[in-house]
Amino acid sequence: MKRKGIVVALALGIMVPALHPSQAATKKEVKIESISFNGSRVPTTAEEMSKPFTTASVVVKYTDGKTKNFPLTYKQLFKTTDRFKMSNGETFSAGTPTDYYGDPITDKSVDGKPVHYVSDAPDANSLLRPMKDGSLYLVSHYEYDSLDNAGNPAWRRVPASMTLTKLYQNMKTGELKIATVDKIDVSTVNGLWVPCNGSLTPWNTHLSSEEYEPDARSFEFDTQDKTSQSTAHLKDFAKLYFDDEKKANPYYYGFIPEVFVSSDGMTRVVKHYSTGRRSNELMVVMPDERTAYFGDDGEYTMLFMYVADKPRDLSAGTLYAAKFVQTSAENGGAGNLEWIKLGHATDKEIKRIIDKGIKFSDIFEVSNEPKEGFTPVKQYSGQGANYGKIEYLKLKPGMEKAAAFLETRRYAAMLGATSEFNKMEGLAVNAKDKKVYVAISDISKGMEKNAQDPTDHIQFAKVKAGAVYELSLKPGQKNTAGEPINSGYAAVSMKALLVGEDLARPDAYGNKANVNKIAGPDNLSFSEDYRTLFIGEDSSQHINNFVWAYNVDTKKLSRILSVPAGAEATGLQAADNRNGFSYIMSNFQHPGDELDNFAPTAVKLEDVKKAINATYGINQAGAVGYIQGLPNIQKLQEELKKQQKAQQSKKKK
């Protein structure tokens, strides 16, 4: 639109000067006015529901009224079961985890015959910015293995892994193809525990994650609990990774590993102990290259902020936990945020404490009932024996630092932080507007009113379909002790931006939430070029999970991809400019999972299962891929200028 001599490119957030009247008399300069998405329809047949599906496109509108349509397609790079020759000379599947020595980890669940484990759960992607020679590398997570070869649950029992993929890029079409795939060595950080989502730092390193941290209290005291991930699961993990059950240590895991990739494809992994220990969905760094926020997945979890001492260096910093002060329960809820300082530490300090063999009982005294001097807390406890229960804790003298960085959630709850968030998943940063977006995939449990909990800071209405929240960031803030927070990116408020809609009864395809709204928002990624927030679903509410595009200026929500029925949309990353091309990285994991929880009448469920099984196998293989066809904004603008310059030159001749 035009107003007072200025063309406002709403969808791009670009202010473009209008032509001077004397120039307008000749020929108006054509510019990009807006960019939007035409959404994809919902898949309706068993065949469409069994695979990645999209009919979406990008529409570019110019100031002369013309438009150009760019159809989107999904490109699968590889399945987790696809085999590649690794640097150690062996050939095995991309999703096969490796042990401390770099050898493939084998499953002997069927007749004792060793067969490689293969993850069906590819998660985070970081398509790194091009190296100096233009080379493109992709870091990908393999979160877990759903089932062993005998069909038994293998979740968290089997060590996880990451791959580094070198990509060929077609410089005419932008299509990506595989050059090499190799495993990233994590032996220097005691292996990798449940790497969920991840992020790309401003300095072009990959931040991994370790979700659902093992519960150290349960591991120490509930040794006979055969179902706890903190006992049986962690011991199985150590046996498979180290070939030594005695090396099982819950304090090895629950941190943020950072992956450094050199131009020749060599990798180095550092685990950041000073960022605190929690159920890390991911860590996202702000534009100041010092401040970061975390997704803390599970029930009764927390919002944390970390401020590094130095830019681009996450080895030392100050950790804070949020206290939520509710201001509204309407439309997903809203509130203000106060920050409680937990402490300052370096990676070396915390690792030294771990290496000395610290145990939970060295940090806290415990009581099974209310007792003077003990603080009641309720927080996610790794599905150990204390899962879902109120704990009564007393900090032992001199253990503040160990508590803050090894028992981060427990200690923060003791200091009064809010431990009521439920399924806090992905985050993304909008640098221009100084906003952070947080996905809550399910508004329930701790986020509902519950006077029986130790605190009841959050009292929202239940929405199983979840919501995406917006955090506003400001400089000059102080913590609850009145001390300055040394960051210009401290979050001061939190409000619902997009809220899902639960259905009173399932629709004809078995969906339990409105298919034209988000449900189970999980992965988030923001494109500065498109001024668009991308949202990937992990939902038991939609039979096919979707990837959405939400323009923060026009407020338009568009469905741009659906993944196979029963699969989770993962690995979401908006990569704005990679050698002149733009991509949306998007994986999917465990296709066909939990389909029996849906009862469609418009399509036969068995036909959907059969189609998925023919291509991927139910809970057998996930896929790493991307959405292609997005025009690169910078490239479009440059081409437009060249065309107009050429036309002007031609007229002069």
Task: List the chain domain ranges.
Answer: 50-72+506-652
The predicted pLDDT at position 174 comes to 96
- The pLDDT-based confidence of 381 (bands split at 50, 70, 90) is confident
Binning pLDDT at 50, 70 and 90, where does residue 652 land? confident
Do the bridges between strand 490-499 and strand 334-346 make them parallel or antiparallel, or are there none, so unpaired? antiparallel
CA–CA separation, 167 vs 308, rounded Å? 33
Q: In sequence order, which residues have a C-beta less than 8 Å from that of residue 379 and are 6 or more positions away?
A: 300, 301, 302, 391, 409, 410, 413, 419
Between CA 233 and CA 382 the distance in angstroms is: 11
Looking at the chain, the whole-number percentage of residues with pLDDT higher than 90 is: 86
Rounded CA-CA distance 634/631 in Å is: 9
> Of 384-388, 463-467, 547-551, where does mean pLDDT reach its minimum?
384-388
pLDDT of residue 227: 61
Q: Could you tell me which of 500, 511, 520, 531 has the C-alpha nearest to residue 570?
A: 520
According to the model, what pLDDT value does residue 16 have? 38
Residue 428 in this model has a pLDDT that exceeds 50: yes
Phi/psi-derived region of residue 422, left when phi > 0, alpha when psi is between -120 and 50, beta in every other case: beta
Q: From CA 607, how far away is CA 614, in angstroms rounded?
A: 11
Taking residues 402-430, report their average pLDDT.
98
Q: Which two tokens stand for residue 543?
A: 């039979």
Residue 2 has pLDDT above 60, yes or no: no
Cα distances (angstroms) measured from residue 89 to each of 101, 183, 536:
14, 12, 36
The mean per-residue pLDDT over the stretch 512-526 comes to 98
Q: Higher model confidence: residue 133 or residue 15?
A: 133
Mean confidence (pLDDT) of the chain: 93
pLDDT of residue 521 exceeding 70: yes
**Whether residue 611 has pLDDT greater than 90:** yes
Report yes or no: 300 and 380 within 8 Å, Cβ to Cβ. Answer: yes
- pTM for the model stands at 0.94
Predicted local distance difference test score (pLDDT) of residue 615: 95
Between 207 and 23, name the one with better pLDDT. Answer: 207
pLDDT grade, residue 232 (50/70/90)?
Answer: confident
Tokens of 60: 């570019």
CB 553 within 8 A of CB 539: no
Q: What is the pLDDT of residue 26?
A: 45
Measured distance CA(221)–CA(238) in Å, rounded: 18
For residue 101, give Cα distances in angstroms to 161, 186, 188, 191, 242.
13, 10, 11, 11, 8
pLDDT in tens, 270-321: 999 999 999 999 999 999 999 999 999 999 999 999 999 999 999 999 999 9
535 within 8 A of 524, measured Cβ to Cβ: yes
Give residue 298's region: left, alpha or beta (phi > 0; psi -120 to 50): left
pLDDT score of 376 more than 90 = yes
pLDDT at 386: 78
The predicted-structure confidence for 342-365, as pLDDT tens digits, reads as follows: 999 999 999 999 999 999 999 999
Q: What digits encode the pLDDT tens for the residues 146-175?
A: 989 898 889 889 999 999 999 999 999 999
